[in-house]
Amino acid sequence: MHNHALTSSGMLTGDPQSGTVISAANLVKTYGDAAAVDGISFSVPAGESFGLLGPNGAGKSTTMKMIGGVTRRTAGQLSIMGLDPDTHGPEVRAHLGVVPQQDNLDEELRVRDNLLVYGRYFGLPMSYLKPKADELLEFAQLTDKARSKVDALSGGMKRRLTIARSLINEPRILLLDEPTTGLDPQARHILWDRLFRLKEQGVTLILTTHYMDEAEQLCDRLIVVDKGRIMAEGSPAQLIREHSTREVVELRFGSERNATIGAQLEGIGERLEVLPDRVLVYAHDGESALEQVSARGLRPLTSLVRRSSLEDVFLRLTGRSLVD
Amino acid sequence: MTEESLVGAGRRAHGPAVAAAKARRWGAFYYAEQVLRVMKGYTWSILMYSVGQPVAYLFAMGVGLASLVDTGNAAIGGVSYLVFIAPALLVSAAVMTAANEFTFPVMAGFKWRRTYFGPHASPLTPGQIAAGHIMAVTLRLVLQSALYFAAVVLFGASPSEWGWAGILVATLTGLAFGLPLMAYSASITEDKGQFALVMRFIVMPLFLFSGTFFPLDNLPPAVRWVGWISPIWHGTELGRVLSFGYGEPPLLTVLHVAVLAGMAVTGWVLTRRRFALRMGQ
């Protein structure tokens, strides 16, 4: 990949003053009576990695589709690079690279041809596309698969090919909808590494995820979304600071006893969360909280002291766990 | 916007404004290119189909069956049976191909492989994606019909110098039947074997009862309406007029063209609407 300067064409066509590339105000999308997105507002400056974290059905994908200019909003304002996707669909989409939740590669074409064909949709000439396709295949670590049929690729490879495809027009904004869902840990890490490189090159990343580790790894800032609304907004560290304690003690007493023993833990730490499979004790000092548990004569089957994560933030905000 | 195309000045993509302007103008062609590339993967079977089918049909019907029915019957315009059915076979083959190209690939685009949703995220519009698909299939119909017509000529079954226009008639008939079908395909969200039913209960009966193998007048009046509403009948009759000067009132010839064009245009409009609806949600 070339390391493109931020002055790349199109970059400054949004809002040059603030450098905002995406702004949404009171965004609403309803299907029949149901509101998938129910009044979401946010704005994203150029070069930021912005995440939408939430469970399945929270309205993340619908928000992404509205940003991507493929779904019309029901109400609210939306501007991408200063353009309204409802009136300037092709112009908005020309600015973007899109990695959809479900791969929609052309399985009947070969790997490299998928990139060439996609580049044609942007009116790019073959003289540009051929070297670019090779460059992107290398970036996606798929050079030796260039002539393979797409069917022959693993899930992680298909995902990387989809990302390579989304970069064919050298977009400055990349939309990634659940980029690593369904991938094994190794494939996820390779993908994160590639995304991180793009971020280093100044590409604005907008991604949805229901994995808190992914959000922590990739996002400068995120909104926690549930039932179509924003529950909280901030950097991962900020959110944890505001909505959780520094550490968490996870105690397992066996599924039968978690609830009853939970009552006996009252007063330890800042806050307790009794879940069917474990009890969470939120405390600034996990070790000393654990000592207090022992001092009360309670013997958990397993215990673990860890740092707070976005999962805890989500649990606190919604009373539900993120991945069901 | 002050974006300039940077292509050629290094390996840089042109800017979004240029991409969008190009896509607005040429988008349908870009998508047609994709469909043709996919078809290219099936070149061999498409060729076999386009050459093998006419040879088999013309030989079986025009030579085999003709030996029984060739009695210089005035009902078929006073020409040999082979000459009589050649335009019908040409038109029917185009309709069969259209019936395939405007059903399964559409379902694949929306559901099975979701291939329409890739370009949908690019600057292309749903209407352009539909148009590109239609353009690519139209090209296939023209080429296939040209090959078919070449076979007809080799069999000596196209007496008039206007016979070649049957290529265009066949293509138009394919679209007249195929585009309304495409609109239907785009409306199907769940595959319950509808396409198999379309082939068996619409395409086949139309093929058999559209004046293909015998004049429509030979059918009992009660079922003649099948022919009148059938694009295959209108296409076949039009093809016969061009191929051997089949006697019919000039107004009827005009009607054939109008019906075929009307069905194709209506189908295209409905298809566009369906595509836009389905991709805009």
Within a domain: A323: no
Which of A90, A164, A142, A81 shows the shortest CA–CA distance to A121?
A90
Distance, in Å, from the CA atom of B159 to the CA atom of B172, rounded to the nearest integer, reads: 22
Mean per-residue pLDDT for B43-52? 88
Cβ-defined contact of A118 to B124 (cutoff 8 Å): no
Asked if residue B5 belongs to a domain, the reply is no
- The CATH number given to whatever domain includes residue A80 is 3.40.50.300
Q: Which of B6, B23, B33 sits opposite A122 (nearest CB)?
A: B23
| Number of neighbouring beta carbons within 10 Å of residue B191 | 12
pLDDT tens-place string over residues A146-164: 999 999 999 899 999 999 9
Read off the pLDDT band of A36 (50, 70, 90).
very high
Tell whether A251 and A226 lie within a shared domain. no
Residue of A nearest to B35 (CA): A117
Closest to B125 (Cβ–Cβ): which among A13, A90, A123?
A90
Which of A192-206, B44-58, B67-81 is predicted with the least confidence, judged by mean pLDDT? B67-81
pLDDT of residue B141: 97
Percent of chain A with pLDDT over 90: 64
pLDDT value for A314: 86
Residue B210 lies in a domain: yes
| A251 shares a domain with A192 | no
The per-residue pLDDT for A322 is 59
Residue A2 with chain B: CB contacts under 8 Å: 11-12
Give the model's pLDDT for residue A18. 56
CA angle B270, B273, B279 (to 5 degrees): 135
> Which residues constitute the domain of residue A141?
11-234
How would residue A5 be classed by pLDDT, with cut points 50, 70 and 90?
Answer: very low
* Confidence tier at B247 by pLDDT (50, 70, 90): confident
Strands A96-99 and A204-209: unpaired
Q: How confident is the model at residue B148 (pLDDT cuts 50, 70, 90)?
A: very high
Please indicate whether, in this complex, the C-beta atoms of A122 and B22 are within 8 angstroms of each other.
yes
- Answer whether residue A312 is part of any domain: no
pLDDT higher than 50, residue B256: yes
pLDDT at A40 over 70: yes
Is A117's pLDDT higher than 90? yes
Q: Measured between CB atoms, which of A13, A100, A120 is closest to B30?
A: A120
- Of residues B236 and A297, which shows the higher confidence score? B236
Q: Are residues A23 and A58 located together in one domain of the fold?
A: yes
Asked if residue A123 has pLDDT above 80, the reply is yes
Structure-model confidence comparison of residues A93 and A7, the more confident one: A93
Is B254 a domain residue?
yes
Same-domain pairing of A173 and A265: no
**CA–CA gap between residue A240 and residue A231 (Å, rounded):** 13
The answer to whether position B19 is within a domain reads: no
Tens digit of pLDDT for each residue in A289-303? 999 998 988 888 999
Same domain flag for A64 and A171 = yes
Are A65 and A141 in a shared domain? yes
Find the domain containing B45 and state its range: 24-279
Give residue A15's pLDDT. 45
Q: What is the pLDDT of residue B71?
A: 66
Per-residue pLDDT tens for A183-219?
A: 888 888 888 998 999 999 999 999 998 888 888 889 9
Residues of A in contact with B132 (CB under 8 A): none
Domain limit, last residue, from A234, A264, A287: A234
The model's confidence at residue B7, banded by pLDDT at 50, 70 and 90, is very low
Helix (H) or strand (E) holding A304: strand A302-307
How many beta-carbon pairs under 8 angstroms link A with B?
134
The pLDDT mean for chain A works out to: 88
Which of A10, A98, A128 minimises the CB distance to B15? A10
Q: Report the alpha-carbon angle A16-B1-B276, nearest 5.
A: 100
Instruction: Kindly state whether residue A252 falls inside one of the protein's structural domains.
Output: yes
- Quick one: which of A94, A57, A58, A89 has its CA closest to A73? A89
Q: Do A71 and A176 sit in the same domain of this protein?
A: yes
Domain assignment present for residue A22? The answer is yes
Largest Cα–Cα distance in chain B? Answer: 75
Counting residues of chain A whose pLDDT is more than 70, the rounded percentage is 93
Lowest mean pLDDT among A130-144, A172-186, A251-265, B233-247: A251-265
Question: Please, which pLDDT band fits residue B9 given cuts at 50, 70 and 90?
Answer: very low
Q: Do the chains contact at B19 and A124, CB–CB below 8 Å?
A: yes
Which residues of chain B have a Cβ shorter than 8 Å from any chain A Cβ?
Answer: 1, 3-4, 6-8, 11-24, 26-27, 30-31, 33-34, 37-38, 41, 113-115, 117-125, 279-281
Do residue A282 and residue A194 come from a single domain? no
pLDDT computed for residue A310 by the predictor: 86
Distance from CA of A163 to the nearest CA of B (A): 12
Evaluate if residue A324 carries a pLDDT over 60.
no
CA dihedral sign, ordered B211, B217, B220, B226: positive
d(CA B146, CA B150): 6
A122 reaches B (C-beta below 8 A) = yes
Q: Closest Cα to residue B33, out of A165, A113, A14?
A: A113
Residue B18's pLDDT band (boundaries 50, 70, 90)? very high
Is the pLDDT at B4 greater than 60? The verdict is no
Q: Is the pLDDT at A316 greater than 60, yes or no?
A: yes
Nearest-neighbour CA in chain B from A217: distance (Å): 26
Residue B71 falls inside a structural domain: yes
Q: State the pLDDT at residue A323.
A: 54
> Each residue of A64-75: pLDDT tens digit?
999 999 999 999
**How many structural domains does chain B have?**
1
Residues with Cβ within 8 Å of residue A50, at least 6 apart in sequence? A22, A42, A44, A204, A205, A206, A207, A219, A220, A221, A222, A223
Q: What is the count of structural domains for chain A?
A: 2
Do A303 and A223 share a structural domain?
no
CA A229 – CA A179 distance, rounded (Å): 22
B190-224 per-position pLDDT tens digit? 989 999 999 988 998 888 889 888 888 888 888 88
Q: Closest residue of B to A172, CA-based?
A: B16
Contact by Cβ (8 Å): A52, A65: no
A67 and A193 housed in the same domain: yes
Reported as a single tens digit per residue, the pLDDT across A8-30 is 333 333 444 458 999 999 999 99
Contacts of A68 in chain B (CB under 8 A): 121
Residue A101 C-beta-side C-alpha neighbours within 13 Å: 12
Task: Assess whether pLDDT exceeds 90 at residue B101.
Answer: yes
pLDDT digits (tens, 9 = 90+) for A43-53: 999 999 999 99
Average pLDDT, chain B: 90
B123 to A93: CB separation less than 8 angstroms, yes or no: yes
CATH of the domain at A299: 3.30.70.920
In 3D, which of A43, A33, A89, A92 has the Cα closest to residue A223?
A: A43
Query: How far apart, in Å, are the Cα atoms of A232 and each of A40, A75, A98, A247, A317?
Result: 11, 22, 25, 20, 8
Residue B33 belongs to a domain: yes
**Confidence band for A321, pLDDT divided at 50, 70 and 90:** low
A122 and A160 share one domain: yes
* DSSP-assigned letters across all residues of A225-289: EETTEEEEEE-HHHHHHHHS-SEEEEEE--TTTHHHHHHHTTTSSSEEEE-SS-EEEEESSHHHH
With a CB cutoff of 8 Å and minimum separation 6, the contacts of B133 are: B31, B32, B35, B105, B106, B109, B182
> B7 lies in a domain?
no
Q: Is B8's pLDDT higher than 70? A: no
Strongest mean pLDDT among B78-87, B156-165, B172-181, B226-235 = B172-181
Query: Testing the interface with B: which of A31, A120, A132, A204 to mutate, by most B Cβ within 10 A?
Result: A120
Statement to judge: residues A46 and A82 lie in one domain:
yes
Q: Is residue A214 part of a domain?
A: yes
